[in-house]
Amino acid sequence: MSLHPFEHLTPHFILDAVESTGVFSDARIYPLNSYENRVYQIGIENASPLIAKFYRPNRWSKEQLMEEHNTLLQLKKAGVNVVSPIEFTGETLLSHKGFRFCLYNKIQGQSPDADNMDHLFKTGELIGAMHREMQPLSLHYRKPLAPLDIIKEASDKIANSNRIQNRVKPIYKRLIDDITVKATQSLTTHWPETLHLIHGDCHRSNLLLHDDQLSLLDFDDCTLGPQVQDIWLHLSGDLSMQKQQLSELIEGYECHHSFDHSQLTLIDPLKAMRIIQYSAWLHDRWEDPAFPKAFPWFASEDYWANHLSQLKECLNQWGELSH
């Protein structure tokens, strides 16, 4: 059985890659919580640790990764608090024996509190500043966000998989059909004519709070899409709480950038898309040894019961956040 590509990332390989940039490690390696890529804290002799990010092979092209890095450098230059890759002789995207990687300075901090209204206001401010500076930028090598295509591709993958029990498949397919009808109505009516550059995966874990200052990281999924995609992922709790959170986020956002309130109708299809896509992501990555260890419950009866419950909840609450 052939090794998964990430199994080649031995401590010796990682240190060789990092030291190929000219820095010297003290051989301390600490793996960080990342599954799509592999991320490590690397101790550096007589200096602060660095963060090494090794990209998943064959996911993004060199051009796509360079667009991500260039976006981060532009945001940093504009004064937006983002964690950008370090340049070595003018290059941020590095390679070592078939792996593309980059290095970041370590930023101290923790994720903001989900129910802290001050944190949510600051989050909105940061996203608004980011969108303002990204508006003139563009992407040429990445596909724009296309929720209906993603819902269809991901749900077809699951429906045709042996990871979902046969008795569950008809229920799953009916829910997907109902979601597709509602999503088509929402997206046809309110999808913006012009899409702008967004973070794409702007959840709480991709924010670091330190000394009352927020920084945004991990632009791996940056794409062209509606501005609300970077906002709704910060909502949690019951509907009443989510409406309060949304108000704080938008108020902070509008300190730096105008917000199209008609996009609130897009939250429901975007949420459904993410729930469906998450299952397909686990399915696609199951051959990566890290996934069965980290997600042992995937494809169990309890997992699918909870998944169906999430889809039903999406349908039951459809439109309530935008009213």
Annotated catalytic sites, by residue?
Answer: 201, 218
Separation of alpha carbons 97 and 183, rounded Å: 44
Checking phi first, is residue 139 left (phi over 0); if not, alpha (psi -120 to 50) or beta? beta
What are the Cα distances from residue 170, in Å, to 98, 175, 300? Answer: 43, 9, 17
Structural contact between residues 169 and 159, judged by C-beta atoms closer than 8 angstroms? yes
Nearest to 89 by CA among 22, 148, 34: 22
Bridge partners of residue 139, in order along the sequence: none
The helix or strand, by DSSP H or E, that contains position 30, with its residue range, turns out to be: strand 25-31
Q: For the residues of 63-87, what is the DSSP string, one character each?
A: HHHHHHHHHHHHHHHTT--B--PPP
Q: 165: which 2 tokens? A: 């029990």
Which DSSP letter does residue 131 get?
A: H
What are the Cα distances from residue 164, in Å, to 156, 273, 274, 300? Answer: 12, 18, 18, 8
